[in-house]
């Protein structure tokens, strides 16, 4: 039974999410490590190396790094694989490091209020319950908001009932799992409270339902939830003087907060929305993660959170970049191009058969220039063509190219089937000083000039080579090949 208790609202069993684990106290914070890579190309291995350096070769930090940053949307990578800076986090981190912990504390309270399950970037599409239900397809719940709502309701019922035990956390998590998220919907809170009170009314409940070994495991797993919930100013984890079975207490409310119930209710009411996502899209999808990050760490949302609650002073959270920072849209086309480039690069070092390599390489190069397009200009005559009338022409002959050159997108160019591909390949045209020119040293014995060829060359002669700088060495190689006589 205990072994089936794995889901605690999808929270990863990693280092707890707290200001000091993120921004650092005695240890360097995980976000501080990420900041070192800001504006750079995302390379997992480089970050892994840095983590082992900082944490003395403890490789487990990589899992923590990824999980924690995914939970709070901190690892935002754009379409060009560059790590994007997030001003809110930068601000909280720099304040924290200067000894002002307030912004980090407020931020963690805000993140708790947004904490949702399933999580778009963490709940894997493969993860399922024992009965085969797919967690990613569950109705979204906000565990922290639900817990506040339950405690609020328990208090209304009887002040002495305002607490939750480890076993009750276990129970609501299980119920939520078997109902695929229906159980912890806010409008079902009364039902949850009814169930809890019913169990408490059963005097034998704690003694027969769960033995001490199982309880130990439950408490252990609840520790990860507690680690995150601990950031809440509204919850209290010190056992109050209530008659709760020994070792069972999980949490209650923090009665030191001014206007506690008004505050809790306004938090509940303003936290009813969540991030809608298509569960068929992988949790690793970079575009989804990018948009979740921009949704979660939206400065306007944090400002609204501060405005709704009087517990936090908005003067304690000042975002210097202003409330309307423009976040660029994720450029899918650029991303596809990047991925093709990455695959080409990877292909260079992989050991596939020569034939399949050549075919794959040709497909990837075509994708690099034409993917997702209907039309493109011919690089030589500059006329617009449907992509079916364009080929990916080699600037330098493929057979003369090294393995490394073959996977360089600059070795090819889109050229039209209506003459340009042929005229360039046979050497009627060469490129020199950034321009296409008639090749005066052509082997005229072999390649005859007729009027139609002459007039076609005349049109092209002097056209610019758009990608000249990057493709220069390949154009040179082609020119030398056709001008050796
Ligand atoms: Zn053309």
All structural domains of the chain with their residue ranges: 8-306, 333-482
Task: Classify each residue of 98-122 as buried b or exposed e, where b means 16 or more C-beta atoms within 10 Å of its C-beta.
Answer: eeebbbbbbbbbbbbbbbbbbbbbb
Q: So what's the pLDDT on residue 350?
A: 60
Distance 418 CA to ligand 1 centre (A): 6
Distance 427 CA to ligand 1 centre (A): 15
- Please report the beta strands in 333-420, taking only residues with DSSP state E, as ranges in sequence order: 375-377, 384-386, 390-394, 412-416
Q: So what's the pLDDT on residue 295?
A: 95
Distance 390 CA to ligand 1 centre (A): 8
Q: So what's the pLDDT on residue 2?
A: 42
Distance 441 CA to ligand 1 centre (A): 22
Rounded to the nearest angstrom, the gap between the alpha carbon of residue 63 and the centroid of all alpha carbons in its chain is: 15
Q: So what's the pLDDT on residue 319?
A: 67
Distance 396 CA to ligand 1 centre (A): 17
d(CA 161, CA 243) in angstroms, rounded, equals 9
Distance 385 CA to ligand 1 centre (A): 8
Distance 444 CA to ligand 1 centre (A): 22
Distance 348 CA to ligand 1 centre (A): 30
Distance 463 CA to ligand 1 centre (A): 11
Distance 407 CA to ligand 1 centre (A): 23
Distance 318 CA to ligand 1 centre (A): 57
Distance 417 CA to ligand 1 centre (A): 7
d(CA 485, CA 482) in angstroms, rounded, equals 8
Kindly give the parts of the chain with pLDDT less than 70.
1-7, 14, 25-27, 57-59, 203-210, 242, 246, 319-325, 349-355, 485
Distance 480 CA to ligand 1 centre (A): 22
Distance 37 CA to ligand 1 centre (A): 43
Distance 384 CA to ligand 1 centre (A): 8
Q: So what's the pLDDT on residue 345?
A: 80
Distance 438 CA to ligand 1 centre (A): 15
d(CA 237, CA 163) in angstroms, rounded, equals 10
Q: So what's the pLDDT on residue 404?
A: 87
Distance 163 CA to ligand 1 centre (A): 75
Q: So what's the pLDDT on residue 313?
A: 85
Distance 439 CA to ligand 1 centre (A): 17
d(CA 117, CA 283) in angstroms, rounded, equals 13
Q: Position of tokens 């980090």? A: 104
Distance 378 CA to ligand 1 centre (A): 5
End-to-end C-alpha distance for the chain, whole angstroms: 83
Q: So what's the pLDDT on residue 210?
A: 66
Distance 481 CA to ligand 1 centre (A): 21
Distance 333 CA to ligand 1 centre (A): 24
Distance 446 CA to ligand 1 centre (A): 23
Distance 460 CA to ligand 1 centre (A): 8
Q: So what's the pLDDT on residue 1?
A: 41
Distance 420 CA to ligand 1 centre (A): 4
Q: Are 416 and 390 in contact (CB under 8 A)?
A: yes
Distance 483 CA to ligand 1 centre (A): 22
Q: Are 115 and 232 in contact (CB under 8 A)?
A: no
Distance 362 CA to ligand 1 centre (A): 20
- How many residues can be counted in the chain? 485
Establish whether the linkage from the previous residue to 265 is cis, with ω within 30° of 0: no
Question: How many Cβ atoms from other residues are within 10 Å of residue 291's Cβ?
Answer: 20
Distance 389 CA to ligand 1 centre (A): 9
d(CA 28, CA 25) in angstroms, rounded, equals 6
């Amino acid at each position: 039974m205990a072994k089936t208790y794995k889901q605690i609202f999808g929270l990863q069993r990693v280092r707890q999410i707290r200001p000091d684990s993120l921004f650092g106290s005695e240890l360097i914070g995980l976000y501080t490590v990420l900041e070192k890579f800001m504006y750079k190309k995302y390379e997992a291995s480089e970050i892994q190396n840095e983590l082992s350096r900082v944490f003395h070769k403890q490789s487990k930090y990589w899992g923590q790094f990824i999980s924690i940053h995914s939970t709070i949307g901190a690892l935002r990578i754009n379409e060009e694989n560059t790590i994007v800076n997030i001003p809110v986090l930068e601000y909280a981190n720099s304040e924290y490091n200067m000894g002002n912990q307030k912004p980090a504390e407020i931020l963690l309270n805000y993140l708790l209020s947004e904490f949702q399950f399933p999580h778009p970037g963490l709940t894997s599409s493969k993860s399922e319950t024992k009965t085969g239900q797919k967690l990613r397809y569950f109705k979204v719940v906000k565990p922290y908001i639900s817990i506040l709502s339950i405690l609020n309701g328990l208090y209304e019922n009887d002040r002495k009932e305002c607490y939750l035990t480890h076993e009750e956390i276990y129970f609501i998590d299980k119920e939520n799992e078997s109902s695929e998220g229906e159980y912890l919907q806010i409008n079902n809170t009364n039902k949850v409270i009814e169930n809890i009170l019913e169990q408490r009314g059963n005097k034998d409940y704690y003694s027969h339902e769960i033995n001490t070994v199982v309880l130990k495991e439950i408490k252990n797993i609840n520790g990860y939830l507690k680690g995150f919930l601990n950031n809440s100013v509204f919850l209290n984890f010190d056992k109050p003087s209530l008659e709760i079975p020994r070792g069972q207490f999980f949490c209650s409310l923090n009665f030191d907060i001014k206007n506690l119930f008004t505050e809790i209710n306004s938090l509940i009411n303003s936290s009813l929305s969540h991030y809608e996502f298509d569960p068929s899209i992988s949790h690793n999808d970079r575009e989804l993660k990018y948009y979740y990050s921009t949704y979660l760490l939206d400065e306007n949302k944090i400002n609204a959170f501060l405005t709704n609650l009087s517990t936090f002073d908005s003067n304690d959270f000042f975002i210097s970049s202003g409330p309307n920072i423009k976040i660029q849209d994720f450029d899918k086309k650029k991303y596809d191009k990047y991925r093709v480039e990455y695959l080409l690069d990877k292909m260079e070092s992989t050991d596939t058969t020569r034939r399949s390599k050549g075919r794959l390489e040709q497909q990837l190069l075509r994708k690099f220039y034409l993917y997702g397009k209907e039309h493109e200009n011919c690089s030589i005559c500059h006329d617009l063509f449907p992509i079916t009338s364009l080929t990916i022409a080699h600037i330098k002959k493929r057979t003369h190219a090294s393995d490394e050159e073959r996977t360089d997108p600059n070795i090819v160019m889109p050229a039209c089937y209506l003459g340009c591909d042929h005229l360039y390949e046979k050497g009627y045209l060469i490129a020199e000083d950034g321009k296409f020119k008639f090749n005066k040293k052509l082997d005229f014995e072999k390649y005859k000039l007729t009027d139609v060829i002459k007039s076609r060359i005349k049109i092209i002669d002097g056209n610019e080579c758009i990608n000249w700088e990057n493709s220069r060495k390949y154009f040179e190689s082609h020119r030398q090949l056709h001008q050796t006589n």
